[in-house]
Chains A and B, each alone.
Chain A
Amino acid sequence: ETGVTQSPTHLIKTRGQQVTLRCSSQSGHNTVSWYQQALGQGPQFIFQYYREEENGRGNFPPRFSGLQFPNYSSELNVNALELDDSALYLCASSKGGGETYNEQFFGPGTRLTVL
């Protein structure tokens, strides 16, 4: 059984640029959630995708957007990068469609640094 994978591992961008982060969900999982973890904080929910549609969203501006593909992999896109976007971005996959609680399995994360 393949776990959740994320790419790239690290990324450095400058303010105003755009970035795309990628996530492959665990085998058998059809739901992907994205979280932002700033230094010294817990992960903060960005949004969740189920059946290629956004299924729930946290308190993040529209410049944070995502996609889910038919194979359940997902992308997180951030436009007009700001210094405060520097963080660890975590992807988590789970079974089910958000209608019932399912344990979320996390990937290792992508460390984004915005200069």
Chain B
Amino acid sequence: DQQVKQNSPSLSVQEGRISILNCDYTNSMFDYFLWYKKYPAEGPTFLISISSIKDKNEDGRFTVFLNKSAKHLSLHIVPSQPGDSAVYFCAGGGGGGADGLTFGKGTHLIIQP
């Protein structure tokens, strides 16, 4: 039972354009969501998070949108840069955080020059 789904294994975007990464979830108990970025041979790096009581959070080039009724969130990166090429993971966290994070399988974002 996959509680967090990232249905696009890969995404190719031209440099300077907007990258939109999508994530769906089934667990209504998630209190917050996070996006992590991962380069090969490195651990995931935290990018941005959003509480379940909000519908948008912005940090520089990164914006996360949450649609609770659709159980869907998306990460927008604008403008996309070559250094953004990485695997992006969406994760959900429950109340208290003691149950750890539930991750999707990731989307490999490729920024083309």
Chain B interface residues toward A at CB < 8 A: 4, 6, 31-32, 34, 36, 41-46, 49, 51, 89, 91, 93, 96-106
Contact = CB atoms under 8 A, between A and B. Distances in A.
Given A106-B43, A106-B44, A101 B31 contact: yes
Given A42-B103, A100-B97, A106 B45 contact: yes
B108 to A, nearest CB: 10
Interface residues of A, number: 32
B96 A98 contact: yes
Interface in A38-69: 40-48, 50, 55-56, 58
A104 B102 CA distance: 12
B34 A42 contact: no
Contacts of B102: 45
A40 to B, nearest CB: 7
A85 to B, nearest CB: 18
User: Which of A44, A98, A104 has the most chain B CB atoms inside 10 A of its CB?
Assistant: A104
Nearest to A58: B100
Contacts of A92: 43
A65 B91 CA distance: 24
B104 A42 contact: yes
B100 A105 contact: no
A33 B105 contact: no
Of B4, B46, B49, most buried by chain A (CB within 10 Å of CB) is: B46
